[in-house]
Chain A
Amino acid sequence: MLNNWLDKIAEKATRKQARHTSRRSFIRTFGIALIGVSVYPLLPVFRDNAFAQEPGNIPESGDPNDCNYWRHCAIDGFMCGCCGGTVSSCPPGTVVSDITWIGTCRNPKDGKDYVISYNDCCGKSACGNCLCQRDEGDTPVYRPQNTNNLNWCSGSQADVPYHCSLSVVIGVKES
């Protein structure tokens, strides 16, 4: 009798654990959805260097290799800082994607909204470290301007081999 009771408790606990704890991190860990796509795109397509400007002094806080880091508010992919690059530079030997999506993230340090370009780094197989995914605002692929379900290395000089994603500050919203 006791064994049966323990079995039921264990079963319920396992199911609950599986459903309510593991599920949330499952996608982050295994990378179901991918590839630097903005959750809050301001423009449908951002072409690299179209907004090129000298970086200013951006007040920083948090760990760029943590999924909760402020710039990653709309990232979807492996964070390049865990792959030999940084939050704004691709790992050696990879190629920055020409086309990507941009989002707007609020910097908790100064309370300003910054425009973030989620360029992918392409030309090698997937990094496999530090997957970070959020699905807020994601739409199906027939609305590509908002989807995180596409490989945005498509059209890059290195073609579709996807490696990791950047979170590059390209502008600031002046109030």
Chain B
Amino acid sequence: MSYKIPLSLISFLVTWIVASGQLWAFTPEIPKTEILPDNNGEEWFWISGNRIPSLADGQAYLMGQDGKRLGQLSTGYWFNSLINAHKRNEIITVETHFDRGTRGNRNDLVVMYDANNLSFKHEIQLPPKRMNAVRNDGLVNLTDDERFLLVVNYTPAQSVSIVDLDKGVFIEEVETPGCSVLYAAGNRDFYSICGNGGFMQIKLGEDGHVISRTRTEPLFDSVNDFLTISASRIGNVWYFISRQHNAYAIKMEGDDIKLLDKWSLTTESEREDNWIISGMKHTAVHESSGELYVLMHQGEEKTFEEPGTHVWVYDVKTKKKVREIELEEIAVSIAVSQKPNPRLYINSIHFPVPFLTQLWMYLIDGEKSLMEIARQRASIYNAKNGQLLFHSDLVPHGGFVLNIQTW
């Protein structure tokens, strides 16, 4: 079958197209670089870490409210710490770079990135001593007014480097023998946790120099009920948990440090069922509702760093567990946003094959084959009712990252 088009119609269309000229206009594309969209209160978040075994290539991935990637920072060797400095409109990282990859001069740097476009702004040189630790809590601390930054060192001598962010200079290094990671207690005060169960108060003057270091009496039993370093803060109270599954509420405000409260995370029957803490960053808080979130699983005591299966939520006033959130995928670290209806962010392990394939691999080649295909992603839950909202984009191949934190 064929159609006949009147010659007059063809003539008319050609004339119209040529005359108008519009459809023939060609506008070449010009490559450009995106800037971040306005945040407008959206719930962005970071996934970041040292990417073991690719330790020389630390990364931080900025994810949008929908879990899609917005951008990335490249953060050097054995990356630990990212700070959102929103008052400064900066993202701050502490990075290590060697002149020649894994050799040459070591440069430890405080690096400021523009929070509008994630581009490098400037850097401040530090003594090349910053602690390379597996966990990230408390290694880098910002004063509440975002003026000074404190970085924990380990050579293995223990000390702290202090930086003036406004002036862009390293101020000084102070020794903290026997004490390590830091917890902020206002604009000029920090508390460093110590091996004897006490803390060392580090008080800064207005110029950022240390004006006093004071050791407190022990606030916990550092042998029989020692605290993990993954603490979370509501106002001037830090909530710690111990490896023996107790919660500690410790007030830190200026010169004032006091153990306010202590309670068990587990009941006797839960302990009999081997419920223990899990993962790396295993606490988070929702400040306005006074809720403490703790990552948990069932296992032997020695499995305390293995990924968790549940998040248990406690009311810090009543010291009671108010709900349990069962996770769809095992979890390494957690974070909670601070809106009235908060989100629970989970750094999850994901097996990207159907269940029957997983089963087949497990039966044929055992656990190792499954772990070789394991990937990571963020899982976002409604923190109030435990409903899974969605999973994020996958973390790229090449290494493993431990951190998840809000924007």
Q: Which residues of A line the B interface, CB within 8 A?
A: 10-11, 13-15, 17-19, 21-27, 29-34, 45, 78, 99, 123-128, 134-136, 138-144, 148-151, 153-155, 158-162
Contacts and interface: CB of A to CB of B under 8 A. Distances in A.
Interface stretch (B31-39, B208-216, B364-372): B364-372
Contacts of A148: 134
B102 A34 contact: no
Given A22-B349, A33-B134, A126 B156 contact: no
Given A29-B372, A32-B402, A22 B367 contact: yes
Contacts of B232: none
Nearest to A149: B134
Given A128-B53, A141-B135, A154-B132, A45 B102 contact: no
B304 interface: yes
B371 A151 contact: no
Contacts of A21: 362, 367, 370
A141 B131 contact: yes
Nearest to A99: B156
Contacts of B246: none
13 contacts: A18-B351, A22-B374, A23-B303, A29-B372, A31-B400, A123-B103, A135-B304, A141-B229, A142-B193, A143-B226, A150-B134, A161-B98, A162-B55
A33 to B, nearest CB: 5
Contacts of B356: 10
A26 B154 contact: no
A125 B56 contact: yes
B264 interface: no
Nearest to A7: B355
Interface of B: 52-56, 77-78, 96, 98, 101-103, 106, 128, 131-135, 154-156, 158, 179-181, 193-195, 222, 226-229, 280, 297-299, 302-307, 309, 328-330, 332, 349, 351, 355-356, 358-359, 362, 367-368, 370-372, 374, 400, 402
B102 A124 contact: yes
**Interface pairs A-B: 8 shortest CB-CB:** A151-B132, A126-B53, A128-B53, A142-B180, A161-B102, A29-B371, A149-B134, A30-B400
Contacts of B307: 23, 26
Given A30-B374, A34-B134, A143-B195, A158 B103 contact: yes
Contact of B154 (A30, A33, A124, A144): A144
A87 to B, nearest CB: 20
Contact of B180 (A15, A125, A144, A162): A144
B372 A155 contact: no
A21 to B, nearest CB: 5
A31 B53 contact: yes
Contact of B367 (A25, A32, A134): A25
Given A19-B297, A23-B306, A26-B307, A13 B355 contact: yes
B344 to A, nearest CB: 18
B180 A141 contact: yes
Contact of A18 (B131, B132, B226, B330): B330
